[in-house]
């Protein structure tokens, strides 16, 4: 009969086998885990006896897994991952509590990430996020900043992750029904209404276009205001691609052959980069990007 004691022994032996397979040597696996060579070797022999099959071929070229070992290797990896998840869930809960200030564009959180924040709060119920969008980003007063370096070249910190933002022209179905689809960039600038956010107007790639616009009707420092105007049918604008997910009314004007890629970085103060709260936020955003198929590069 399987008892708690035998299950614990089996788990130790399985994890020992994985270490030997990963390191390619019983001696190396033992040394890196602070175990005597003889004890590591004995655990492998005990496991072979338990399963009545050879698991490791020992020779001059190292310790190589047999077919039997390869058959159970992925299962052992899965067990190790589950153990790691359990450990992560019981990190010192005091370290995963309190407030954390985050600066970001109003569009990113307001139109894209906000609907998924409930998952963050469900996993980390003692962390409270303070979201700042209107103030200028200041690394000295905030914990985390999600910024576009081209728009904020003087803000520096430890980079936690990066992802790409694609800017395109968008309008609403209502606007297209009333004014028609712009045939090309020249038609857009000659005959259609533009609403623009200052931060995108100042990009070199947009400046030449804006200078030629005959109907630049509304400009604002508020992304939310321009979003509302365009969503209600009042014109055409340049938006990050994530905005289209936030409204069924928005239409991407792919025929204009305009797309600008910007790098977005998540940074923090170096002294808090390894804190559990920052790690929790990075894990949340990484899972979010995977769920929405947004390529993301983790740096810390």
* pLDDT tens figures, 1-25: 579 999 999 999 999 999 999 999 9
**Domain end position, chosen among 48, 74, 89:** 89
Token reading at 80? 């190790």
Please check whether residues 220 and 250 belong to one and the same domain.
Answer: yes
Are 141 and 266 part of one and the same domain? Answer: yes
State the residue range of the domain holding 179. Answer: 93-300
Among the listed residues 46, 52, 63, the one whose alpha carbon sits nearest the alpha carbon of residue 10: 46
Judged against a pLDDT cut of 90, whether residue 28 lies above it is answered with yes
Q: Residue 172 has what pLDDT?
A: 94
Residues 61 and 190 in one domain: no
Averaged pLDDT for residues 133-150: 85
Positive or negative: CA dihedral 64, 67, 69, 70: positive
Give dist(CA 196, CA 237) in Å, integer: 6
Cα 182 from Cα 189, distance rounded (Å): 9
Domain final residue, candidates 73, 89, 105: 89
Domain C-terminal end among 46, 69, 89: 89
Transcribe 154-205 into DSSP letters. Answer: T---EEEEEEEEEEEEEEEHHHHHHH----SHHHHHHHS-EEEEHHHHTSHH
Q: H or E element: which one contains 99?
A: strand 98-103
pLDDT at 294 over 80: no
Residue with tokens 């395109």: 168
Looking at the structure, tell me whether residues 154 and 52 fall in a common domain: no
Number of domains in the chain: 2
* 114 and 198 assigned to the same domain: yes
Report pLDDT digits (tens) over 208-252. 888 889 999 899 988 888 888 999 999 999 988 777 766 788 899
Q: What is the CATH number of the domain that holds 288?
A: 3.40.190.290
- Do 142 and 24 share a domain, yes or no? no
For residue 55, pLDDT over 90 is answered with yes
Quick one: pLDDT band at residue 132, thresholds 50, 70, 90? confident
> What digits encode the pLDDT tens for the residues 69-94?
999 999 999 999 998 877 766 655 56
Residue 111, pLDDT score: 59
* 220 shares a domain with 118: yes
């Amino acid at each position: 009969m399987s008892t708690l004691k035998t299950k614990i022994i089996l788990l130790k032996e399985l994890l020992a086998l994985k270490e030997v397979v990963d390191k390619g040597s019983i001696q190396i696996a033992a040394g890196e885990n602070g175990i005597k060579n003889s004890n590591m070797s004995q655990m492998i022999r005990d496991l072979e006896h338990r399963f009545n099959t050879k698991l490791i071929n020992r020779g001059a070229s190292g310790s190589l897994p047999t077919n039997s070992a390869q058959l159970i290797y992925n299962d052992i990896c899965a067990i190790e991952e589950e153990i790691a998840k359990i450990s992560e869930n019981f990190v010192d809960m005091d370290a995963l509590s309190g407030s954390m200030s985050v600066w970001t564009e109003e569009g990113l959180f307001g139109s894209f990430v906000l609907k998924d924040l409930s998952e963050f709060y469900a996993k980390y119920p003692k962390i409270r996020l303070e979201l700042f969008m209107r103030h200028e980003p200041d690394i000295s007063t905030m914990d985390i900043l999600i910024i576009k370096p081209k728009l904020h070249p003087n803000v520096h910190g430890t980079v936690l992750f990066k992802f790409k933002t694609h800017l395109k022209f968008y309008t609403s179905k209502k606007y297209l029904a009333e004014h028609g689809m712009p045939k090309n960039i020249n038609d857009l600038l000659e005959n259609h209404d533009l609403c623009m956010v200052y931060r995108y107007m100042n990009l070199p790639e947009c400046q030449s276009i804006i200078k030629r616009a005959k109907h630049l009707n509304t400009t604002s420092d508020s992304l939310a205001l321009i979003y509302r105007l365009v969503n209600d049918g009042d014109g055409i604008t340049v938006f990050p691609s994530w905005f289209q997910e936030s409204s069924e009314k928005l239409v991407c004007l792919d025929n204009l052959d305009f797309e600008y890629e910007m790098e977005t970085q998540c940074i923090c103060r170096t002294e808090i980069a390894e804190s559990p709260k920052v790690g929790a936020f990075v894990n949340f955003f990484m899972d979010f990007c995977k769920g929405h198929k947004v390529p993301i590069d983790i740096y810390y």
